Amino acid sequence: MVKLAARTWVRSHGWLTEALRKRICHGIYDGARLGEFRRQHGRVPVLLAIPPMSDVNGALPHPGVRILQTVLRDQQIPCEVINYNLPTANPRDPNDHLIRAIRELEVRILGVSTYSQAIRHTMESLQRIKRACPEVTIVLGGPHPTESYRSLLGVRFIDYVCRGESEESFPRLVQALLDGRTAEARSIPGVYSLDREATTVRGVPAPFIDLPKFDERNLLRYGFRPEELKQHRLFRGSHGTAGANYWPVALVRGCPYDCTFCAAYQMSGKKLRYRAVGKVVDDLQYYHDAYGCRHFSFIDDAFTQHYDYVIDLCQEIVDRGLKVYWTTDNGIRYETLGGGTLLAQVLARKGIASCDELIRLMIRAGWRGTAIGIESGSARVRKDLVRKGGSQLTNESILDNLRALKRVAAEERVYLYVNGFLMAGFPELPLPQGKRVDAETEIELEQTRRFAMELRDRRAIDMMNLSIVIPLPATDLWDCLTIAEKARVLTKCVPAHHPDRAAVTGAVDRVVGKYGNDLEATRYQEQPEAEFWREIWALSDETQILVMQSYDDFNADSAHNIELKRHDRDKLWRYREEVVEEFYRPLGMKLKMLRHVLHRSHGLQDVLAYLTLLCRKYEPRTKRRLPA
C-alpha cells in the first residue's frame, strides 16, 4: 500500500508542481516578476546559479555558493543565488528563467558551481545563455572545475575557472572585472583561463583560506531573503537520508586520507583545519533563531578524526541548552568510535568514562544519524584497493562498533539511523612503482553482499547504499590509467558517424602515438592528459561538449558504463540491483524505511517530498529518471 501510494505521488509530482508553478513562485524564482524584483532590490551585478543535477531533488542550501554570496555582500557587491535543484521555477525551463534573470537584473558576472555528473547539461545550458547574453562573464567553480579544469577551458563561452576554495579568489576576480581590470583578473591565484594565442593555461593554485579570519566577521554563515525562504519551503524536495530538512554546515576542512576513489583533498587540502567551536554553535543558534531551523547535516569528511573537537562541540551545545539535531551524512570512519589508545587518552583527559559515554554525549547534543564508509566486505579490498588508511578492522570489529552506536541510542531512547556506504567494481590498480593490485574478485563481491546482509540482520545499519566504483578526476583510480585508457573513457560518447569523429580520433592518435610503446610511463602523470585536452581545444565547442558527455557516467547510477579492468558492466549493474533488492526485500526493512521517512519529516509535505526521492530510479543507459 505504501509503495503504491509512493508511486502514485511520484507520477503525479510533475503536474502538481507545474500547476503550483503557474500560480505561486517567490522572489527571484518568478521570472514574470523580475522587473519588480529589480525595482525593489536594484541591479544584481553577480548572479550565482546551481544547475540541476539528475540525482538531487531540492538540495537546500549549497554551502559553498551561499558563503560566496555572504562574502560578496560583505564587500558591498550585490549578489543573488538561484538553485535550480528546487523542483520548480517560473518559467520551468532553467535556461529560459536564467536568461530572463540576467537581462532583467543587468547581471555582469554569472558564477556556476557544478559536478562532473552534470557537466554536459551544464555546458549546453551555458552555451545557450552566452549566445543570448554575450556580455555576461561566465565563471565556473566547484568540484569538477577544481579536479578537471582543463576539460572546461577550451570552450569559447567559459571565461574563467576558479579552483579549490574560492572565498578569496572569486571576490577578487569579481571586483577586478567590475572595475575593468581584466589583466589583473588573470593573475589572481586560484583563477584559471586559457591564452588561446599561446594555447597555454594561465593560473596558479590559491592558498587555503584562514578560517578564523572569516569567522571573525561571520563570513562562513549564509542567509536567505524572506521570499527565498518561502520558495524553498513551498517547493523543497529531499536530499539523501537527511530528508527534507537538509541544512548543511561545515565545521572542518581538509581530509588526511588517501582513499583511491576520492579527490576531496583537491578542494580543501589534506591538513585538517577546524572552525572555533563557539563560532560553529553561534551559527547553529543563528539558523535556529532566524529561520526556525533545528536539523543540520555536518558535511565534513573527517568530523570524528579529533575527539577533543567532537567533545568540546557537543559539550558547548549541551551547556547552551540549544535544542538542535544534527547528522553526519557525508560519513564518519568506522574505527573512530571504537576504542584504541588515542581515544582512551582523550577520554581520560576529558573525564569521560568510556566510548559509550562519548556516544551518549553526542546523542544528547543532538546526534541523530550518520553514514559510515564501510566500502567493502573484503579486508583486502579495504586495505589495498580502497587504501582507507588508519586502523584496519575486521568485519566483526566494524560490526561491533556500529552495533554499539545503535545500542547506546536505544538506551537513550533516541532514533539514530546508520547508513552503510558500500562499493563494488574495484578495477585493477597499477601503482607508481610498477606493481599492481589485483581487481576485486567474484569471491570479494560475494563477501560484500554477505556482509551487507549481516549488518542488516544484526541491526548494525538501518539502510545501505551500494555504488559502482567511479574513477573520478584527480583520484588515484583515474591517475593510474594510461593516456590511452583515459582517452578511451573520455571519447566514447562521440558517435562513429559524427562529423568530428575523425578529428577526435586523430587527436587521440597523436597524443597516444607520441608515447609509442612507453604508455606505462603516462600513469600518474599530468602532462599526457594536458596534451590530450590541448588537442581537443582545437575542435568546436559542440564537439568539446560531446567529449565532456563521458563525465555523465561519473554518477553512482551509471558508473558501471565506464570500461576499466574489472567485471563486465552489465554484470556489475545486475549485481548492484540484486544486492539492493535483497537488502530491502524483508517486510521489516520496508517498515524501517517508512519509519525513517516519518522521523525525518515534519508534515505531509515533507513525507511526500521524501517519497518522491526514494521512489525514483534511473535507467542506466540513458540516465532517464523513472518511477520505481
CATH of the domain at 179: 3.40.50.280
Do 183 and 104 share a structural domain?
yes
Do 516 and 603 share a structural domain?
no
Do 541 and 438 share a structural domain?
no
Per the prediction, the chain carries an average pLDDT of 89
Helix axis angle for 119-132 and 541-548, nearest 10°, is 160
- pLDDT for residue 622: 43
Which among 144, 177, 202 is the end of a domain? 202
The pLDDT tens digits for 90-136 are 888 899 999 999 999 999 999 999 888 888 889 999 999 999 999 99
Domain contains 146 = yes
Report pTM: 0.92
Percentage of the chain with pLDDT > 90? 66
Burial annotation 573-583 (CB, 10 A radius, 16+ → b, else e): bebbeebbeeb
Fill in the DSSP letter of residue 45. Answer: S
CA–CA gap between residue 215 and residue 401 (Å, rounded):
35
Domain contains 12 = yes
Do 252 and 103 share a structural domain?
no
The pLDDT tens digits for 492-524 are 989 999 999 999 999 999 999 999 889 999 999
Alpha helix (H) residue ranges in 351-482: 355-364, 379-380, 395-411, 442-457, 476-479
Do 118 and 245 share a structural domain?
no
Burial annotation 477-514 (CB, 10 A radius, 16+ → b, else e): bbbbbbbebbbbbbbebbeeeeebeebbeebbeebbee
Q: Contact at 8 Å (CB) between 271 and 125?
A: no
SS3 assignment, position 406: helix
Do 469 and 375 share a structural domain?
yes
- pLDDT for residue 407: 95
DSSP states of 109-139: EEEEE--GGGHHHHHHHHHHHHHH-TT-EEE
Do 592 and 545 share a structural domain?
no
Do 194 and 330 share a structural domain?
no
Domain contains 446 = yes
Strand runs (DSSP E) across 482-587, as ranges? Answer: none
Q: How far apart are the first and last CA of the chain?
A: 14
Task: State mean pLDDT over 156-180.
Answer: 96
3-state secondary structure labels for all residues of 233-291: HHHCCEEHHHECCCCEECCEECCCCCCCCCCCHHHHCCCCEECCHHHHHHHHHHHHHHH
Which among 151, 185, 202 is the end of a domain? 202
The pLDDT tens digits for 429-468 are 999 988 999 999 999 999 999 999 999 999 999 999 999 9
Range of the domain at 120: 2-202
Do 617 and 509 share a structural domain?
no
- pLDDT for residue 617: 52
pLDDT above 50 for 618:
no
CATH at 331: 3.80.30.20
Do 144 and 264 share a structural domain?
no
- pLDDT for residue 101: 97
Do 255 and 152 share a structural domain?
no
Do 165 and 74 share a structural domain?
yes
Between 203-212, 240-249, 252-261, 456-465, the lowest mean confidence (pLDDT) is in: 240-249
Number of domains in the chain: 3
- The enclosing H or E element of 325 equals strand 325-332
Q: Side by side, which strands form the sheet with 160-162?
A: 79-83, 46-50, 109-113, 137-141, 160-162, 191-195, 200-202
Domain contains 219 = no
Domain contains 343 = yes
Domain contains 514 = yes
Domain contains 277 = yes
Domain contains 565 = no
pLDDT above 50 for 625:
no
Could you tell me the pLDDT band of residue 619, with boundaries at 50, 70 and 90?
very low
Fill in the DSSP letter of residue 383. Answer: I
Q: Contact at 8 Å (CB) between 495 and 599?
A: no
Q: Contact at 8 Å (CB) between 198 and 101?
A: no
- pLDDT for residue 602: 78
- pLDDT for residue 603: 77
Length of the chain: 628
Could you tell me the pLDDT band of residue 624, with boundaries at 50, 70 and 90?
very low
pLDDT above 70 for 2:
no
- pLDDT for residue 388: 80
Cα Rg of the chain, angstroms? 24
- pLDDT for residue 258: 85
